[in-house]
Amino acid sequence: MDIENYFSANYQAARGKFLQLCEARGFTVDAYQNDRAKAPDGSDLFLDVAMLGSADAEHLLMLFSGTHGVEGYCGSGIQSALVGESVFGGLGPNLRIVLVHAVNPYGFAHDRRVNEDNIDLNRNFLDFAHEVPSDNGYGDIHAHLVPEAWEGETRVQADAALAQYAKDNGPGALQHAASGGQYTHSNGVFYGGETLSWSAETVLALVKEVAEPARRACFIDFHTGLGPYGYGEMIAAGSRAQVDRTFEIYRDYEVTDPDAGTSTSAPIQGTMAHGVERALPDVETYFVALEYGTLSLKEVMTAVRADNWLYQFGSLDSPLGRDIKRQVRDAFYCDEAKWKSMLYERALDVVNSTLRELQR
């Protein structure tokens, strides 16, 4: 099949394609319904899991799509292509494959990065009973990131204030304050929540169930929105020990580290990488976010802000609302054959390398 055909136009089509391919290739499939949200047409939403290999295998590879909802177009297409092209055929008996489809089914179905509670899931994997996260200075710029009007003088003034902040503190400081994760403004961007979300709870329970029997477990989470067009940046995440292990297993690749300032991503707190590492204290874990570029950082950040404004103050059923919905989709999904081919080729290379390492 042409690689482009593995990608889908909406969440429901992506889910159907993924499930059909997995069942045809002998995967065991489970579905977890998100009972807290619905798709735009009122239908149910699911986080789906496909598994291949022995439950007591010593080595595990786990691939995630749709942690940031609308970014699921990328991850789902890659997962479906890997299955459809029989990449996981002929594996050794001591390796298990687990594919998690649509970690954030609400965001995928509604073309949003956030979940049904405006939570950015990749800022939500915290031990909220013991961790008191910082807002990274977010409070200083919240009003400018989330203006009450998206057009006219209010927006002009908000953008000017953000530009001044970047001039005074540096563009990296602006990106960190805006996107590093904040826990004080539930109506803001990159909000990490006050408790674990349904998606985070489901993922962590699943990870403990399938990965605790393993000795080594590698996790790859597919993302879009940062970096050059179609390029898959390999971002190591988690604690210093996990990052160092990840650098070692991918020693032949250029792997970046947000905490060291080598990544297009700002340092982030509450990532899935931190969550799975905490859930598996006795397992040797590795975690990579494979981040694919779409548009410029400015365009992507503008789309994030516009989406937030739309659901706080705007109307979906308006010309501006429809324009913003298209803007958000375009910022995280390039519906172009070349881009999709680049995504798959990079993922195939990284996944094959990971499989070789896990089977050594």
CATH, residue 44: 3.40.630.10
Regarding whether 347 and 309 lie in a shared domain, the answer is no
Domain containing residue 243: 3-131+194-294+333-358
- 96 part of a folded domain: yes
Q: Are residues 161 and 217 in the same domain?
A: no
pLDDT bracket for residue 59 (50, 70, 90): very high
Kindly state whether residues 289 and 270 are assigned to the same domain: yes
Residues 76 and 224 in one domain: yes
Average pLDDT over residues 342-349: 98
Q: For residue 136, what pLDDT band results from cuts at 50, 70 and 90? A: confident
Diameter of the chain measured on Cα atoms: 63
Least trusted range by pLDDT, from 128-137, 191-200, 270-279:
128-137
Same domain, 24 and 120: yes
| Same domain, yes or no: 98 and 33 | yes
Instruction: Report the pLDDT value the prediction gives residue 107, as an integer from 0 to 100.
Output: 98
8/96 same-domain check: yes
Same domain, 30 and 178: no
- Pair (68, 150) in one structural domain: no
In a domain, 299, yes or no: no
Going by the DSSP 8-state scheme, the letter that residue 198 receives in this structure is H
Which pLDDT band holds residue 359 (cuts at 50, 70, 90)? Answer: confident
Residues 245, 248, 250: CA angle, nearest 5 degrees: 110
Summarize the confidence of residues 145-171 as an average pLDDT. 96
Helices (H), the chain: 11-24, 72-84, 105-110, 142-145, 153-169, 171-179, 198-211, 240-249, 272-279, 297-312, 319-332, 337-358
Contacts of 152 (CB under 8 A, 6+ apart): none
Strands of 95-101's sheet, edge to edge? 28-33, 46-52, 95-101, 59-64, 216-229, 284-293, 232-236, 255-256
- The answer to whether the pTM exceeds 0.75 is yes
Residue 264 has pLDDT above 80, yes or no: yes
Average pLDDT of the segment spanning 104-119: 98
Instruction: Let me know how long the chain is.
Output: 360
Mean pLDDT of 143-149: 96
- What's residue 170's pLDDT? 95
Q: Residue 54: what pLDDT?
A: 93
Residue 314: pLDDT band with limits 50, 70, 90: very high
pLDDT at 14 over 80: yes
User: Does 326 fall in a domain?
Assistant: no
DSSP state of 3: G
125 and 144 belong to one structural domain: no
Instruction: Say if residue 91's pLDDT is above 90.
Output: no
Total domain count, the chain: 2
CA distances from 110 to 71, 104, 113, 323, 359 (A): 11, 10, 9, 14, 39
Report the pLDDT averaged over residues 302-311. 98
* 329 CB-contact burial (10 Å; exposed 0-12 / middle 13-18 / buried 19+): middle
Q: Is residue 322 part of a domain?
A: no
Residues 207, 186: Cα–Cα separation, whole Å:
27
Same-domain check for residues 238 and 279 = yes
Both 100 and 158 in one domain: the answer is: no
Structure confidence by residue, pLDDT tens digits, 116-128: 999 999 999 999 9
- Residue 142 has what pLDDT? 97
Q: Are 255 and 236 in contact (CB under 8 A)?
A: yes
What does the pLDDT read at residue 317?
Answer: 96
Q: What is the DSSP string of 252-289?
A: TS-EE-GGGT-SSSPP-SS-HHHHHHHH-TTSEEEEEE
- Inside any domain, residue 348: yes
67 occurs within a structural domain: yes
Average pLDDT over residues 208-215: 95
Does residue 327 lie in a domain region?
no
Task: Answer whether residue 224 is part of any domain.
Answer: yes
User: With 80 as the cut, is the pLDDT of residue 1 above it?
Assistant: no
Q: How far apart are the first and last CA of the chain?
A: 31
pLDDT of residue 360: 79
CA distances in angstroms from 296 to 134, 192, 234, 299, 315, listed in the order given: 27, 24, 18, 5, 26
7: pLDDT strictly greater than 90: yes
